[in-house]
Amino acid sequence: GQSLEQPSEVTAVEGAIVQINCTYQTSGFYGLSWYQQHDGGAPTFLSYNGLDGLEETGRFSSFLSRSDSYGYLLLQELQMKDSASYFCAPNRDDKIIFGKGTRLHILP
């Protein structure tokens, strides 16, 4: 079977740090991707973890633990423009399945 869990909503304050967790179960897994989607827009790629550990891209970092089937996205120095939905997506060789996403609300 296949399952994917992430919180439906997270709220944080501008300038703070927020972590969005993701647990997954899927066959043929080879990496975990994260996507951002603003209201009315299309999803855009943020990061990918093919190996265990932390990947950093500017204010965003992503972590993967294959043994725990767990990953997270870390957003630092939050800005109002980071208000969006964030999706973790286990990569298989042939297809990518998305979950329901996490809606990030940022308070001024």
Distance of closest approach, residue 4 Cβ to another protein, in angstroms: 9
Could you give the CA distance from residue 99 to residue 2 in angstroms, rounded to a whole number?
A: 11
In the range 32-71, which residues lie near another protein by CB under 8 A? 33, 35, 42-45, 48, 50
Alpha carbon distance 38, 25 (integer Å): 26
- Burial label, 101 (beta-carbon count in 10 A; 0-12, 13-18, 19+): buried
- Minimal distance in Å, beta carbon 93 to another protein? 8
The residues of the shown chain that bind another protein, judged by CB under 8 A, are 31, 33, 35, 42-45, 48, 50, 87, 89, 91, 94-101
